[in-house]
Amino acid sequence: MITLTQLEYIVAVDTYRHFGRAAESCFITQPTLSMQIKKLEEDLEIIIFDRSRHPLLPTDVGQRIIDQARIVLKQNEEINNIVKEHKNQVSGLIRIGIIPTMAPYLLPIFIGNYKKKYPNIFIKVVEETTDNIIKLLNKDLIDVGILATPLHEEKINEKPIFYEEMLIYANPSHPLHKQQEITVKDIATPEIWLLSDGHCFRDQVINLCSFVGTTDSPLPFHFEAGSLETLVNIVDREGGLTLIPELAKMGMPQERQKNVLSFTNIKPIREVSLVYSRHFAKYKLINLLWREIRETIPEELQSENRGTIVELR
């Protein structure tokens, strides 16, 4: 007879591709984990993991069983959540992944209130790029991501929260400050500073240029930063321009806000959503999280019709 514990063990091994690390994540010894998986294989009369491969890999039939095991475990979690909901209990663990171009501006304005309102919810937050958040979601290492969408990922659900404008941050001496009209073509210049590869906001900046047919304009990457704050500091000291999201402007001192400009021919926006697996079970927790963020975001940012959404890919 297959047990939920055995399913948890094979999912853990698939996640970490290592018996030792899987055992640690399950808070058991490696021999205990190995014995339970071996027993499951014997009962089913199949091999779930090819132990001759390094790193460890599931067999074809093993992968199918693991995929189904993830669904079963999620459904079991949903049963527990239904009981909690019936008893009006708001508790549990929620693991959140958030992208670096959003974390410093969004987290501080909602996470404290969320915790105060629901003290029995344990919150764990990690800061990761979009691609890594998707990988963590698919491996069930986090419950929900906060990032720019649409992703067009088959196994991922998206719940839009707000829409922030993509703005220009230009050195005070830059000619853009004297222009009556600013178009997207004006940022396809050797003076633009961009984030490094892996950041979705960088991809959106490049896609914004291609959106209006400026793909032939060379975008020289003289320096590729890991944070928007670094880019803003470089613009202040070295000149040039960069793009920032609207929430970044809201936290700036007044002197810096004078350097923020808007496009006049288009209002590019990035859609910000909660993203989670199709088999996500913590619906109540995610709805509470969505509601808390919406309550802290200015109302004008909550309309999809306020601009043109810039795609990530």
pLDDT confidence band for 202 (50 / 70 / 90) = confident
* Percent with pLDDT over 90 in the chain: 44
How do residues 213-242 score in pLDDT, each as one tens digit? Answer: 343 433 344 456 678 898 899 899 888 899
Which domains, ranges and CATH numbers included, belong to the chain?
4-85 (1.10.10.10), 89-162+271-309 (3.40.190.10), 163-269 (3.40.190.10)
Report angle CA 258, 213, 190 to the nearest 5 degrees: 50
- Say whether pLDDT at 108 is over 70: yes
State the average pLDDT over residues 279-286. Answer: 73
CA dist 133 → 45, 48, 143 (Å) = 35, 27, 10
Q: What is the pLDDT of residue 184?
A: 86
H/E segment holding residue 195 = strand 194-195
Q: What's the mean per-residue pLDDT of the chain?
A: 86
How do residues 284-308 score in pLDDT, each as one tens digit? Answer: 788 889 999 999 999 999 999 999 9
Q: What is the pLDDT of residue 76?
A: 83
- Of 145, 154, 176, give the one whose Cα is nearest residue 243: 176
Among the residue ranges 54-58, 210-214, 223-227, 252-256, the one predicted with the least confidence is 210-214
Q: What is the pLDDT of residue 265?
A: 85
- Of 68, 63, 6, give the one whose Cα is nearest residue 35: 6
State the average pLDDT over residues 158-171. Answer: 94
pLDDT confidence band for 53 (50 / 70 / 90) = confident
Tokens 């093993």: give the residue: 62
- Of 199, 224, 228, 196, give the one whose Cα is nearest residue 130: 199
Compute and round to an integer the Cα radius of gyration of the chain. 23
CA dist 85 → 9, 170, 282 (Å) = 28, 50, 11
How do residues 72-89 score in pLDDT, each as one tens digit? Answer: 888 887 787 677 765 666
Among the residue ranges 99-103, 185-189, 208-212, the one predicted with the least confidence is 208-212
